[in-house]
Amino acid sequence: MNVAIIPARGGSKRIPRKNIRPFHGKPIIGWSIEAARESGCFERVIVSTDDAEIAGVARDFGAETPFVRPADLADDIAPTGVVMAHAVGWCRNAGLAVERACCLYATAPFVTAALIRDGLARLDGADADYVVSATSFPFPIQRACRIRDGRLEMIDPANYLVRSQDLEEAFHDAGQLYWGRADAWSEGRPIFGERTVPVLMPRHRVQDIDTPEDWRRAELLFGLLMDEAEG
């Protein structure tokens, strides 16, 4: 059995009520729930939340909220892996034979059913514990700078004259999905490491949403993608 787990706590501070804030016509969590259901990959789509209002919105979009997330897993320092281990454990204690669980963030409106299916195919085709969405950095990270005492300086000046095409391409977590084998989640195996493979995304479909500025940029980018799809 495959389950989708969407963590959605109620105590977001930088963007209050972030997980159910309206985003292009629906609560933002609705986009993740609909993508999960449309993918056809899951027998159950479960939202892990401590918040009654979020739970109600989740059910309106067709997800289940069969448990209340414990308070000690609903603060702003609880790691995703621990939240997923709790959800997988609840499922197994309820008699569900979970083999794979996919973490989808509630604020990931760019995730698509096709990406979810691609991630599952990658997991099934690899000797791996996890599949994580990733994208490339738009600029060589070897040329990153810091500001110290008001002055801009390279972190590694040795790369100043190295051509961009000669620097190793770097990637980062796209924050869209995390497919994992149930045992890997339950045992707390590290999400990033030699047992993880990527499913790649184009940069124009990736945007973390942690601050009001992030939210506005995501709205603008999403609107452009919708216009392109309709045109």
Domain annotation covers residue 145: no
Domain annotation covers residue 186: yes
CA 39 to chain centre: 16
> What would the pLDDT profile of 72-109 be if each residue is shown by its tens digit?
999 888 899 999 999 999 999 999 999 999 999 999 99
Residues near 125 by Cβ (< 8 Å), separated by ≥ 6?
none
Q: Is the pLDDT of residue 210 over 80?
A: yes
> Residue 81's pLDDT is what?
95
Say which residue the tokens 């309206």 belong to: 22
Q: Which DSSP string corresponds to 5-59?
A: EEE--S--SSSTTGGGSEETTEEHHHHHHHHHHHHT--SEEEEEBS-HHHHHHHH
Domain annotation covers residue 67: yes
Q: Tell me the C-alpha distance between 17 and 72, whole Å.
A: 19
- Residues 25-52 have a mean pLDDT of 97
Residues 203-228 as b/e (b if ≥16 CB within 10 A, e otherwise) read: eebbbebeeeeebeebeebbeeeeee
> Residue 228's pLDDT is what?
86
Domain annotation covers residue 166: no
> Residue 76's pLDDT is what?
82
The reported pTM is 0.93
> What would the pLDDT profile of 134-178 be if each residue is shown by its tens digit?
999 999 999 999 999 999 999 999 999 999 999 999 999 999 999
Domain annotation covers residue 178: yes
Here the tokens at position 164 are 């961009």
- Residues 24-33 have a mean pLDDT of 97
Domain annotation covers residue 146: no
Q: Is the pLDDT of residue 13 over 90?
A: no
Domain annotation covers residue 157: no
What is the pLDDT of the chain when averaged over all its residues?
95
> Residue 75's pLDDT is what?
87
- Residues 60-73 have a mean pLDDT of 95
Q: Is the pLDDT of residue 231 over 80?
A: no
> Residue 145's pLDDT is what?
97
Residue 77 bridge partners (DSSP): none
What is the residue range of 219's domain?
Answer: 2-135+172-230
Q: Tell me the C-alpha distance between 231 and 99, whole Å.
A: 40
Domain count, the chain: 1
Domain annotation covers residue 142: no
Whichever domain contains 208, its CATH number is: 3.90.550.10
